[in-house]
Amino acid sequence: MHSESESKYGSKNGFHIALISVHGLIRGNNLELGRDADTGGQTLYVVELAQALTARPEVAKVELFTRLVRDENVDSDYAQPVEQLNDKLSIVRIEAGPDEYIFKEQLWDYLDSFTDNMMDYFREQKSYPHIFHSHYADAGYVGGQLANQLSIPLVHTGHSLGRVKRSRLIANGLSSIEIENVYHMSRRIDAEEFVLASAERVITSTNQEIEEQYEIYDFYQPEQMRVIPPGTDLSQFQPPDSNNAEELHSELHQRMTYSLTQPDKPIILALSRPDPRKNIACLIKAYGKSKALQQLANLVIIAGNRDNVEDLESGAQQVFNDIWRMIDRYDLYGKVAMPKHHSRNEVSNIYRIAAASGGVFVNPALTEPFGLTLIEAAASGLPIVATEDGGPRDITKNCHNGILIDPLEANTIVDALLELFQQPQKRQKMIENGLQGVHKYYSWQAHAEQYMTLITPLIENSERLERQVIERRSVLYRDRAIVTSLDQNLMGDPQSLQKLMAMIKQHRKSTAFIVSTSRRLDSALRLLKHYQIPEPDVLITSLGTEINYAPKLTKDEHWNKHIDFHWQPHKVRALLDDHPGLYLQPRSEQTPYKLSYYLNADITDVEHIKGILHEEDHAVHVEFSFGKYLDIVPIRASKGQALRYVADCRQIPLERILVIGGSGADEDMMRGNTLAAVVANRHNEELSQLHDIERIYYAKNSYQDGIIEAIEYYDFFGECRVPEESREQSA
């Protein structure tokens, strides 16, 4: 082991920083971005960070450690033990495992060799760094081992987290066994817990990452977290010249505006991939509802590239269909443009053209963890209108360059855009603020300055983390869940709601919070927002036909493929639309996997409707609730089926799931092996047939107080079981 003086004076003229990024293909120039899943943003980030740090006068030496690869299928650059990039910076490649290039999921068995060989490198150099900075879980494992051996402080950046990644893989249809076999997720999460227990500081991109992703880890300590936004190469993004001539007379401008009746109007620009979570249809709805906005500006939507929409995946197809439906509904022909193609190197010019036109950039996404497009737009001279979720909150707080909107309320989008177009002085001030703010907070120079402010006290030993006494749980993943519907369960006393949410938050590491509702996703999100209910870990909507996972509302596409079994909604509608006593609910209540009607029980009844459907061999599930709502979904879909699917994917025993129900649609969630409860305000005839089931508790209190009562009755956060006296009475 080295002495304290060797660590402190490893470089005589300044700090010696060791960056560790084990996997992927890393070199100083011509990065092979997008070659595979391991050669994405992280490789670019670590190289640009290393380069930015060497520009700092207090930094004498930066070494970027990665894995050495000798493989005829990749460039020989990756077989160089040391690649010197400048007089301060070198890439050091460490041998570990086989010579050939392998993906990060196959590296776990070789990380101890990487650690030992990296230690040998320092011994040979007779010089040790002042600080380690690990990137991703594999490097975190290496960095934690070295930091603990050498008493050198460790800083860590996760880039992505295993517990969050697992939810996304489940959404893609992978089973827990497949995820473990392919991705070695338990080893990754163990490594992430280890680095959280070892690191002095953890660097994140946004506050939301701290609050919603790291919080579910056992060794989560928010006082060790610091937000330093990733640097952006702002040299690519510049505002237009004062006369705007080049941008407004360019061939690209003509392509962007060719379908517009008045192409010289200011441009409201939206740029994103065609993903339902990007909420483009709501932006068009907002624009369509405002004649004033239509008179002031055109709307230009850059939504990826397409030749034939039918060749796109189903979610993207749905986005374009929604866009065209909105354009037609509000008769926006000649006012909305949606170019089919653009190249990556044209993006900066697209921003500049919108800025030269006097336009505004809009990001109406339902969820936006960071918001890189907002930074690029601001650097190009555009004021912004953005969702109040996640990263945009941090950006507007730092830069004061735009207005935050509720992405579920079209009126807030209209008001924000009109404010910017009708108040030119305010708009100009936001442009100036944005240009200054992105260089102050989001350039690589700004990142390096904040970075040095963070690590200097750690190196000088003047600021060390006072660790809490924290223990790992006995289980790797959450082993229980609370499931509740929305309406009338969570809509009571606000103080009781706060108490319940605090209780769930306190046990968030062990307990999943699931909301299951008949409402559509957008309607459910609106209600959650109105009552300030935190985003649930799982959101089951539209009567169990759609499942979304936190933190990015990742849609479970595999579930939709599963329930699309003999589902023929057009034939069901043809059969029922003109049936006496049935009235189709508004379009806003319909979804691809749910048909919703009002039923007049004086004219027809549910059993009659079921009989008609059965006679025509329709494999469907029919739900009747609140005495007037009749919903028809695929035979494989229901709240109970969706809950059991989620429980199986997440390996949560049904016996450790507490369901708070209240209508007929909740019945199949409450039957079987789940623990169940009905709050007092929802005791009704729809669930009267369940009174004899021992696992259903009828609370004496209403709303949230009833839920808290049920939690206590089942000792849910403790033994999590039906009380003995209840079993004896049932017997």
Residue 302's domain is classified under what CATH number? 3.40.50.2000
Residues 6+ apart with CB under 8 A from 4: none
pLDDT for the residue 494: 86
pLDDT for the residue 4: 42
Instruction: Report d(CA 599, CA 581) in Å as an integer.
Output: 6
Is 208 in the same domain as 220?
A: yes
**Distance, first Cα to last Cα, the chain:** 67
Is 543 in the same domain as 581?
A: no
Domain's final residue, options 384, 408, 439 = 439
Query: What is the per-residue burial (b if ≥16 Cβ within 10 Å, else e) of 107-146?
Result: bbebbeebbebbbebbeeeebbbbbbbbbbbbbbbbbbbb
Is 379 in the same domain as 280?
A: yes
Q: What is the pLDDT of residues 392-401, one digit of tens each?
A: 999 999 999 9
Is 162 in the same domain as 173?
A: yes
pLDDT for the residue 66: 98
User: Is the Cβ–Cβ distance between 652 and 512 less than 8 Å?
Assistant: yes
Q: Is the peptide bond before 551 cis (omega within 30 degrees of 0)?
A: yes
Domain's final residue, options 604, 635, 666 = 635
Domain membership of residue 115 (yes or no) is: yes
Instruction: Report d(CA 442, CA 694) in Å as an integer.
Output: 58
pLDDT for the residue 192: 97
Is 189 in the same domain as 99?
A: yes
Q: How far is CA 704 from the centre of its chain?
A: 28
Is 59 in the same domain as 115?
A: yes
pLDDT for the residue 635: 94
Instruction: Report d(CA 191, CA 108) in Å as an integer.
Output: 10
Domain membership of residue 468 (yes or no) is: no
Is 555 in the same domain as 572?
A: no
Domain membership of residue 475 (yes or no) is: no
pLDDT for the residue 241: 87
The residues that bridge with 361 in the sheet, in sequence order, are 269, 384
pLDDT for the residue 3: 39
CA angle, residues 284, 288, 294, in degrees to nearest 5 = 105
Domain membership of residue 444 (yes or no) is: no
Is 283 in the same domain as 363?
A: yes
Dihedral in degrees, nearest 10, Cα atoms 446, 434, 414, 552? -10
Is 211 in the same domain as 249?
A: no
* Strand ranges (E), 21-164: 59-67, 82-84, 89-94, 131-135, 154-157
Is 657 in the same domain as 521?
A: yes
Q: Which residue has the tokens 């196959």?
A: 106
**Range(s) of the domain holding residue 115:** 4-227
Domain membership of residue 104 (yes or no) is: yes
CATH number of the CATH domain containing 598: 3.90.1070.10
pLDDT for the residue 426: 96
Domain's final residue, options 439, 466, 490 = 439
pLDDT for the residue 641: 96
CATH number of the CATH domain containing 515: 3.40.50.1000
Q: What is the pLDDT of residues 286-307, one digit of tens each?
A: 999 999 999 999 999 998 888 8
Domain membership of residue 236 (yes or no) is: no
Is 221 in the same domain as 253?
A: no
Alpha helices (runs of H) in 151-219, residue ranges in sequence order: 162-171, 176-183, 185-198, 207-212
Cβ atoms < 10 Å from Cβ of 388: 15
Domain membership of residue 202 (yes or no) is: yes
Number of separate domains in the chain? 4
Domain membership of residue 391 (yes or no) is: yes
Q: Which residue has the tokens 């190009």?
A: 380
Write the burial class of residue 532 (CB in 10 Å: 0-12 exposed, 13-18 middle, 19+ buried): exposed
Q: What is the pLDDT of residues 657-692, one digit of tens each?
A: 999 987 778 888 998 999 999 998 877 656 666 666
Helix (H) or strand (E) holding 516: strand 511-516
Is 537 in the same domain as 665?
A: yes
Residues of the chain falling short of pLDDT 50:
1-10, 731
